[in-house]
Amino acid sequence: MPKLNIGLTEEQRHGAIELLNRDLANFYLLLIKTKKYHWDVVGPQFRTLHTLWEEHYNSLTANIDATAERIRALGGYPLGTAAGFIQYSTLQEHPNDLPSANEMVARLVQDHETIIRYLREDISMCSDRYKDEGTADFLTGLMEQHEEMAWMLRSFIEGENLNSSGDRVGKETKPTVDV
């Protein structure tokens, strides 16, 4: 294969690939958790959450594929094993645990917010350190999708204030809106 000549040094490409592989691992673990909750949710909100999570895991699947292809475009190889995903992921697993529907939502909010924070850092790293504006732009689009998914999930549990660990801390008062 001819040497890659896309205006980035090998160090710049490898730096971006490393970040993308961690993001890929996080996306994959979030996909697994979203599918598991999609299957396991019960209660009066079953249909709403079941449908919402199907939309989310379809989006996550597309994002996983796009991320793997971005890694290949930079000359790298994406993670592709469960062991690799677990090793690289920064998300917390909850094995042998069957939370309530609201706790499922809270955990997914936490995971999306964790991913958003990492993506913000990765965007800066790709732009400032690696001079890879293409990957920074790609990650910005992914971050915006995770912001929207987190917003949808937070909206589901509106009225319940969650702290950074996902615990409910009391009823939230709705802000007044001048129309």
Q: What pTM was computed for the model?
A: 0.85
| Residue 3 domain flag | no
Q: Does residue 70 sit within a domain?
A: yes
Range of the domain at 64: 10-158
Domain assignment present for residue 94? The answer is yes
Residue 74 resides in a domain? yes
For residue 172, pLDDT beyond 90: no
Residue 30 covered by a domain: yes
Alpha helix segments (H runs only) across the chain: 10-40, 46-73, 82-88, 101-124, 133-156
Q: Which of 23-27, 92-96, 159-163 has the lowest mean pLDDT?
A: 159-163
CA distances from 154 to 63, 120, 148, 172 (A): 21, 20, 10, 12
Q: Indicate which CATH number applies to the domain containing 64.
A: 1.20.1260.10
In a domain, 166, yes or no: no
**What's the pLDDT tens digit per position in 121-142?**
999 999 999 999 999 999 999 9
Q: What is the pLDDT of residue 173?
A: 47
Per-residue confidence band for 93, with pLDDT thresholds at 50, 70 and 90: confident
Buried residues in 110-121 as b, exposed as e (16+ CB within 10 A)? bbbbbbbebbee
Q: Domains in the chain: how many in total? A: 1
Average predicted confidence (pLDDT) for the chain: 90
Is 73 part of any domain? yes
In a domain, 175, yes or no: no
The neighbouring-strand residues paired with 162 are 168
